[in-house]
Amino acid sequence: MDPRGREGFDETSQRVPRVPPREADEVRFACGEIRGRPGVCDTWWVDLRYGQYLVQVQSTDVPAEDPSVPPWLDQLVAGVDAEFAEVVPRP
């Protein structure tokens, strides 16, 4: 992900979820910070890798001063993680 200039954002920064997905092999949370408002995000990208499969979730939220991952996004990703853990073949 391009750290500057993506879709009109000042920066895209990595964030750590409150409850990391347990089943994914790799997890990446990033948010798009609004120009002129450092640390304030309104768009989120989540990448979850399960072996050869990559699941991407993108969401748009009301801009929040809280720099942490929104609780509703944590819950959504936990649900996606549980579903994919059941259907993705494992070695």
Distances (CA, A) of 7 to 1, 34, 46, 64, 89: 11, 10, 16, 18, 35
Of 61 and 86, more confident: 86
- Least confident piece of the model among 4-13, 47-56, 82-91: 4-13
- The pTM (predicted TM-score) of the whole model is 0.75
Model confidence over 36-83: pLDDT tens digits?
A: 777 788 888 999 999 888 999 998 877 777 878 888 899 999 999 999
Burial of 36 (0-12, 13-18, 19+ CB in 10 A): exposed
